[in-house]
Amino acid sequence: MILHLSHELTGYLDGTLTAEEASGVAAHLAECTECRVALDDLRAVRSLLRTVPPILPHPAALSRTLSRIALVETRRTVPRWLIAVATMAAGIGLLLQLRVPTAPPQGTRVSPLWYFQQQAEFAAAHPMADVTLTSYLSSALPYETFPEWPAAQKR
Amino acid sequence: MERVQTPLAGSVPETTFASAAVRTASQESFAELLAAHWTHAYRFAYYLTGNAHDSEDLLQQAAEEAFRAFHRFQPGTRFDRWLFRIMHNSFVDRLRRERRRKIFSLDDVSGAAVMDPTAGPSEVAEGALDGPVLRALRALPPDARAVVALVDLQGLPYDAAAEILRCPIGTVRSRLHRARLALREWLRPYVDALQRGEL
């Protein structure tokens, strides 16, 4: 039984086979009428395809396309991995109730607001913590923090 | 496809970016490259889609996508292959989304869909051959149509087609072979006429 050539014929027709492959195909063609007919058919098909006249675009098509491109914003979208990492970091921060520490004012004179702000933030983040409850119940103020307060000056 | 080496600035229409407030260097560079390869790109789009309206639409979409990704284009490489690849990807995506066209199997070689019974070799001799050939081309599956369009109609080598279609060269050859066999059956009267020397 003769094994006929397949896509080797197309490669042979287009001259894309190696020299060794091409000589093998040529040897087969010398003996096989069926493959020679197939090769002639493929050559005719290729010739038919080459008779298709060149198709030209509409003269205004390029200008239209370039005008639209001019309006295209060259914005670069945020990579998805960056969105995922940022979301994960925010989620972890929320779960662990991490607080961004507020830097205390520099100098000897400390704004009283800073102390209450710290307390309020901590109480909001840890509503049932012992320290929070103690803070609620305690009327004692850290006078050393507010040396200018009248209560501290009395001491 | 031979690479265009001529000065390209003159090929860009004067009114190209007339409506845009800012003409960036990137836009100018892209416009020159696109203008240089415009005709070949349009032909590839036409062979893929089969009509002027869809081909212009496809090329428009591919050009916009290419411009958005232009910062990733490496100068010195083949712009036409890069654009063709983007356009082919757009075409495949479009086919998947729309599912409008009936895709014929290469094994189902009936030829009824592409053969015009009234057309004969005499009509072929009068220059109307591109009609049946293009109809047969449209009846091919999209992957085979793309290979025929690139290699047989655009004259690109196998390695360029493989680069554009992102497949091995062996796949290009086998797809091309199957496509030509199908076209042989569909275009049998013309093939016979050509071999008899009547064309």
- For position B23, what pLDDT does the model report? 59
A4 touches chain B (CB under 8 A): no
B158 and A14 within 8 Å at the Cβ level: the answer is yes
B191 and A69 within 8 Å at the Cβ level: the answer is no
Read off the pLDDT of residues B162-178 as tens digits, 9 standing for 90 and up: 999 999 999 999 999 99
Q: Which residue of A has its CA nearest to B29?
A: A66
Read off the pLDDT of residues B63-108 as tens digits, 9 standing for 90 and up: 999 999 998 888 888 999 999 999 999 999 998 887 755 555 554 4
Mean pLDDT score across all residues of chain A: 78
pLDDT level of residue A98 (50, 70, 90 thresholds): low
As a whole number of angstroms, the distance between CA B193 and CA A44 comes to: 10
A66 and B34 within 8 Å at the Cβ level: the answer is yes
- For position A31, what pLDDT does the model report? 92
B195 and A71 within 8 Å at the Cβ level: the answer is no
- For position A111, what pLDDT does the model report? 67
Task: Select the more confidently predicted residue: B146 or B12.
Answer: B146
pLDDT level of residue B33 (50, 70, 90 thresholds): very high
A79 touches chain B (CB under 8 A): no
Task: Select the more confidently predicted residue: A24 or B121.
Answer: A24
C-alpha torsion sign, points B61, B67, B68, B71: positive
- As to burial, measured by CB atoms within 10 angstroms (0-12 exposed, 13-18 middle, 19+ buried), residue A118 is middle
Q: Is the CB of residue B58 less than 8 Å from the CB of residue A57?
A: no
pLDDT level of residue A103 (50, 70, 90 thresholds): low
Q: How many helices (H) and strands (E) does chain B have?
A: 10, 0
